[in-house]
Amino acid sequence: MKAKAKRPPRKLKYGWDATKVKALREYMRLTQTKLSEELGVRQQTVSEWETGLYAPRGASAKLLNILAERARFKYGSGEKDESVHA
């Protein structure tokens, strides 16, 4: 019997850490409450992401990717595009 080959774990295209979540929120000029409403999570969850207690994953990370792309936020590097932000 042949053993199945293990697949490497899937990696998110962009990793969201506390600094990047907060930078995106501030770039979009949103409060934690408003960002939580956009993502469909609790405000406490956004706070936990921003303090580094937890990191966004799954659907929340994908939604952050979508928000960042729509806002033209350079979330891959954690830096914003000043030419877009007025």
Domain boundaries, the chain: 18-76
Tens digit of pLDDT at every position of the chain (86 positions):
566 667 655 454 568 999 999 999 999 999 999 999 999 999 999 999 999 999 999 999 999 999 999 999 986 654 444 333 43
Report pLDDT for 81.
44
SS3 call for 35:
helix
Q: Which CATH superfamily is domain 18-76 in?
A: lambda repressor-like DNA-binding domains (1.10.260.40)
Report pLDDT for 74.
84
Report pLDDT for 13.
54
Token pair recorded at residue 51: 């303090």
Report pLDDT for 84.
39
- Neighbour count for residue 27 (Cβ, 10 Å): 21
Bridge partners, 79 (sequence order): 74
